[in-house]
């Protein structure tokens, strides 16, 4: 099964998720939906809601609670994007001018807060205690990941272990929660919910590693942000961590100087990308992502073979193959 088939299978359900998102975004304060629509309407694939829909179907649940809970997951994700762009002083997001560059940092932060608070309000209406506990813990862990990334920003001594901890907290935990919520909705046994949780952690870690790798190799018009943007923002990701570990002291100083100066010059970025290529940083990162995907698939073995399981495997494979 290919990813296009997965989107075809869940196309109608994803439309229902979009309808619920639209309904929940209504506000007398017109700036709130204006900013959110700018972001959620700019090309996101609804990857996290798709996982919730697929895992809940895998566990035998096809009721209406899937839709508000999928909207909640996407709202939490969108809130983090709004906050991220303020922290990173980002100029673009998904190929468009970032919200903070149009409406300012204060508006972006406050609308992100609105999405968080809206999410928890909706949880009390559509979730149960297990889901509320899970998503409360998840958002707290994500905030820890954001702070840890901030602490390690520009630190050329960052270790691979540090990096993997950041991406697990910042990205993988929400993807894992989306998978676990599907199991909770299906009222499946705890061992299966745990399997979906662990599947999601591996999937989410692989997703972020490939996203960070695309920052160095993707076509800019497809990827939606300038190539080398993470480097410019002082984010040291796995391809560069591998390079820093293997390169000469002279090459290390070049990288360190560029990061400290938040280098924007294309020639310097090109030199660093060349070093990453020379020290096999891209392949190293992608192989790590593939390892996570392979580990994640193992956690699906306890589920019977079916269309839903094939969909989750197709989503897993797509993460490694994607170029956007």
Cβ density class 285-294: b for 16+ within 10 Å, e for less: bbebbbebbe
The pLDDT tens digits of the residues spanning 76-99 come to 999 999 998 888 877 777 778 888
Q: How far apart are CA 33 and CA 181, in angstroms?
A: 26
What local confidence, expressed as pLDDT, does residue 90 receive?
78
What local confidence, expressed as pLDDT, does residue 196 receive?
98
Q: Which CATH number fits domain 3-321: 1.20.1740.10, 1.10.600.10, 3.40.630.30, 3.30.200.20?
A: 1.10.600.10
Q: Helix or strand or coil: residue 93?
A: strand
Q: How far apart are CA 311 and CA 58, in angstroms?
A: 10
DSSP 41: T
The pLDDT tens digits of the residues spanning 141-169 come to 999 999 999 999 888 899 999 999 999 99
Q: How far is CA 36 from CA 101, 105, 146, 288, in A?
A: 14, 14, 21, 34
User: Closest Cα partner for 158 from 257, 235, 271?
Assistant: 235
The pLDDT confidence band at residue 223, using thresholds 50, 70 and 90, is very low
The beta strands (E) that lie in 130-208 are given as none
């Amino acid at each position: 099964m290919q990813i296009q088939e997965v989107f075809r299978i869940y196309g109608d359900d994803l439309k229902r998720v979009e309808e619920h998102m639209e309904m929940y975004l209504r506000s007398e304060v017109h700036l709130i939906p204006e900013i959110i629509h700018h972001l959620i309407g700019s090309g996101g694939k609804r990857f996290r809601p798709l996982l919730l829909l697929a895992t809940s179907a895998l566990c035998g649940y096809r009721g209406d609670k899937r839709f508000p809970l999928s909207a909640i997951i996407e709202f939490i994700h969108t809130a983090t994007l709004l906050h991220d762009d303020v922290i990173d002083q980002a100029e673009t997001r998904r190929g468009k001018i970032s919200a903070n560059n149009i409406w300012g940092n204060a508006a972006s932060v406050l609308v992100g807060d609105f999405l968080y608070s809206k999410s928890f309000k909706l949880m009390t209406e559509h979730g149960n205690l297990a889901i509320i506990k899970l998503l409360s813990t998840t958002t707290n862990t994500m905030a820890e990941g954001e702070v840890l990334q901030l602490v390690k920003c520009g630190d050329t001594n960052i270790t691979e272990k540090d990096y993997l901890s950041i991406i697990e907290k910042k990205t993988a935990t929400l993807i894992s929660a989306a998978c676990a919520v599907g199991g909770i909705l299906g009222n499946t046994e705890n061992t299966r919910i745990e399997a979906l949780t662990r599947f999601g952690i591996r999937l989410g870690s692989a997703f972020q590693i490939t996203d960070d790798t695309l920052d160095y190799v993707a076509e800019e018009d497809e990827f939606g942000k300038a190539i080398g943007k993470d480097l410019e923002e002082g984010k040291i990701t796995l391809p560069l961590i591998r390079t820093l570990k293997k390169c000469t002291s002279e090459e290390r100083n070049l990288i360190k100087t560029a990061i400290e100066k938040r280098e924007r010059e294309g020639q310097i970025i090109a030199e660093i990308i060349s070093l990453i290529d020379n020290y096999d940083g891209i392949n190293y990162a992608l192989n790590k992502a593939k390892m996570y995907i392979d580990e994640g698939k193992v956690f699906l073995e306890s589920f019977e073979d079916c269309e839903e399981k094939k969909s989750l495997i197709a989503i897993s494979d797509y993460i490694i193959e994607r170029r956007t």
